[in-house]
Structure 1
Amino acid sequence: MATPLLRLALAGASLLLSTAAHAVPDVYPTPGMEAPVSSFVATSSGQVVAYYTGAIGGLTNLVGLRLNGVDGPVGLSNQASAYGDSLVLGNVSAGDTLVFFIAIDGGTERYYSDPSLNTDAFNHAWAAAYAGDADVPAGTNIAFEDLAGGGDRNYFDHSFVYQITAVPEPASWALLLGGAAALAARRRSR
């Protein structure tokens, strides 16, 4: 039978472990002020994956990535996504400039992480490093403001962490598939 002190220690450890598993990224520290401009450059080649981290604005926002002047697919609705849901935004090469955006109400009105692309010339994106947790890997957290002119400037209308993951080379895929085929053949022969 556990002593009261041991039960208290186990309860405290359980609480610490449960909160560490889902550590939401920091929120914008100076609401009401326009965020400093951040630029994003791919440090490696691979897939850009976005992981939803929260925030709900009054409008429905979808996140996307502009590469080489072309807007890519959108997804991860701030009204319907769960913490940790992910979306592949596209493939990049090391050195590519990444411009993230939100599509307002799924339409053509968009706000970019590059203010020069926004009709109001306002910086709609705030970025900070994120250490990661059990559901969202370490990466860069980007939070958007979804109203013209910056709205309330709290950068809490749509938030996600992005990470670049390596895309396996064709030879690696061939080796992996060959190994799986060999295992399947071995099981059939038994």
Structure 2
Amino acid sequence: MNEKARHLLDCYTFGIEPDGGWIFPRALHQAQLDHRPASLRRVNLLLDEIRAQLNPERASFLERPDARNLCTLLGGYLVAYLEQQHPRVRVQPGHAAGGLSPLDWVEAKLFGEPGAPNCTDYVAELFAAAVGADVHERIAQASDAGIDGLDWISGEWTPSDPTARAGAVCYA
């Protein structure tokens, strides 16, 4: 995670407004970036709501410092979430899921690019990229079993038994 994202995460955590501020500070506060699994769903809802309310145009939206802060914060949060949930995992620069870095995913989701997965599935793919596993088939199996990527990365499901709940993440 870069220094700007780390700084913005610290500002968010300690309730400090960063240089340039936050776009939609109330909605961002309501997203509760608390490193719990449900926070990934809230990130998804936040981006969907901004897109539905504003239908932002990429260039003009990203010209705003408060909007860039939001995107950088959320991209950094996905990395921080994953590293907190799985302390042995480090997301390195260049790790991408589906060809998207965390910041690229935030922007793809925010601007409604086709094929952008939901947040929980993106983080599951990012986890796989960070540990070097090919889990696309496993994510598809989980989806077929009615289980989203969040359950898979939080260790509540393993592909060997789609009906079982496991206590550990399946790394390979």
Same fold (TM over 0.5): no
The structure with the largest helix share of the pair is 2
Larger relative contact order (CA 8 Å, sep ≥ 6)? 1
Q: TM-score, normalised by structure 2?
A: 0.33
